[in-house]
Amino acid sequence: MNKIILTILLILIFNTSIQAQKEQKWTSIINDKESTWFASAEAKEVAKNVLLYQRNIGGWPKNIQMQNPLTATEKQNLIALKTDLNEITTDNGATCQEMLFLSKMYAQVPDERYKNAFLSGLDYLLKAQYENGGWPQFYPLKKGYYSHITYNDDSMVHILNVLKEIAEKTDYYSIKPSEATIEKSKIAFNKGIDCILKTQYKQNEVLTAWCAQHDEITMLPAKARAYELPSLSGKESAKIVLLLMSIKNPSPEIVAAVNSAFVWFEKTKITDLREERVPVPNSKIIEKVMVKDPSAEPLWARFMELSDNTPFFCDRDGIKKATLAEIGQERRTGYAWYTNEPKEVLKKYPNWKKNSESETIISLKKSEVTLKDEFNIVVDQNGNGDFKTIQEAVNAAKSYPSQRITIFIKNGTYYEKVKVHAWNTCISFIGESREKTIITYDDYFNKINLGRNSTFHTYTVLVEGNDFIAKNLTIQNSSGEVGQAVALNVNANRVVFSNCTFLGNQDTLYTSGEGTKNYFKDCYIEGTTDFIFGDATALFENCTIHSKSDSYITAASTPKDTSYGYVFKNCKLTADKKVTKAYLGRPWRPYAKTVYINCEMGKHILPEGWHNWSKREAETSSFYAEYKCTGEGFQPKTRVSWSHQLKDSEAKKYTIEKILDSDSTKATKQWYLKFN
């Protein structure tokens, strides 16, 4: 009899435990349970569910109460979904929170399944990152606003906090990745911070805060759901700033971002409103009412106008309203329109400011360099200049300077990977001589090994600062014929290269950035396949374009409705002796535009001239043309039928002013003449 009673008691205890587990939220289980609980049988059962819900790509779906028991049928369904690529996300804490759970499990029960699942999740986060440093809400990408860079509900901040712990090799996670993965995490974290700095919104040229989501191409504030319009976010911006404040030895750009955001939070706080929840008689509805209260704790609006920070509210019709009371009850009570999260920024800011200023002083003392002229910096690898490396000179240059900074580079072979950051505007690289001032590095796709976008990390020189000029130097990717390997990546506007040489093989020159304009004059560019590629508008004038193998010269990805893509004027197309079958170009993207005007074409250019990259639709959407070219390779009568030979009236549109000045402001007109 005693055995029967004991059995009943055990069943009751077990059922009570399961019921309590059901009632407790998944996030509470991860964050609130004592560490010893993760060694329990109960935790192991939950861990089985977590492993089942993880997809083969490494991520998890969202809003799953992982602790809830699964039936046999549900388990089989989850196994069948392992290869499914839909609805995998970092939204609402998904993936990052499951990784934390697995780490806590592994600390108590070193089961390799937990470790492997955690590392797979980390790989997923790294794969999902955009080249610009941001993350979409869903990966693989889901159509709609889900592809925007997503700060909403702190999604990207959660990811960056994971990467920060990994990169800094802290003990926060019990599972330790390989050194290679740690290095990838460092790169991804830095790119993410760079994305945050680039997306901080400028209001009348003053840095403010962030939108909940930013367009993944333009990086501007973007719309999500009908009631989530482009705006400045009082909520999401808070966690972004707290992340920036957590970075040790912050750069001047991070310090400026935090200081600006703090000022904005102070400016936009609401000090006379309090939210009340009022039951509606004879219903289950709890109404949300904003009450005037001079003694209320500060609040911030979730959405504020980009132009003047005025709070606004929207119903599902997307029409802005001035007050919360003006929208329907369903959205009024079913969404967080106000937040107090920035109060943590205001609380921590004084100490952060004091510490950051101290760290800046210490950093300056450690690397103090007295420049004779901060607008004229000399680089000499032999030690007879201000710096021995080009990157040191760039790092020491003033951000957003009041006048052009010239970095004079003495003759020598500089084996380094150089990045001109977005804040390094108005910088000039002037080499002592084109032949003997050489910047070289040897990264390539498989060496970088950062997934499908590895190409974009292989650059020797990356230019992100607008109004950049380079003269009299050589930029080389010396990795050899090993696949994609970029020598120069230009992702900036109003950039000039004059009397320069670009050496490489596949993907030598990448001109990126929708709407950006580049000018290459008197340059030599060589390569094998697609060695001039990208989406920028670029004019190549009096350049030599040299093919090293039978392949394709250009692979433009011109955006739709862009007037000009690649324009080659008075250029000379040459080739190695072995080369006999080269195409003028093929469309990387469907609206590619490439035009050759008054160019001398060697006999290596194929009679058909152009290739459609097996994209029949590109034959009608792309624009490939020539005008009054010469040489054995210019055979207009045998060109593919979907290419064009320009008429005189059409060719008149291809002036330097129309190509490069079409959207210039008064201050930037004829920017391409400033290199002289």
Q: Annotated active-site positions, please? A: 507, 530
Q: How far apart are the first and last CA of the chain?
A: 102
Q: How far apart are CA 259 and CA 266, in angstroms?
A: 11
- Side chain identity at 659, as an amino acid letter? I
Say if CB 297 and CB 339 are below 8 A apart. no
Helix (H) or strand (E) holding 405: strand 405-409
- Strands 524-527 and 509-511 turn out to be unpaired
- Side chain identity at 607, as an amino acid letter? P
Helix (H) or strand (E) holding 164: helix 155-167
Say if CB 134 and CB 192 are below 8 A apart. yes
Q: How far apart are CA 391 and CA 388, in angstroms?
A: 9
Q: How far apart are CA 114 and CA 51, in angstroms?
A: 8
- Strands 488-490 and 461-463 turn out to be parallel
Q: How far apart are CA 664 and CA 71, in angstroms?
A: 64
* Structure-token pair, residue 457: 């990390």
* Structure-token pair, residue 607: 């009679």
**Centroid of chain to Cα 551:** 31
User: Between 252-268 and 342-366, two packed helices, what is the crossing angle to 10 degrees?
Assistant: 150
User: Between 112-128 and 96-108, two packed helices, what is the crossing angle to 10 degrees?
Assistant: 160
Cis peptide before 140 (omega within 30 of 0): yes
Reduced DSSP (H G I as helix, E B as strand, rest coil) percent helix, strand, coil of the chain, to 5? 35, 20, 45
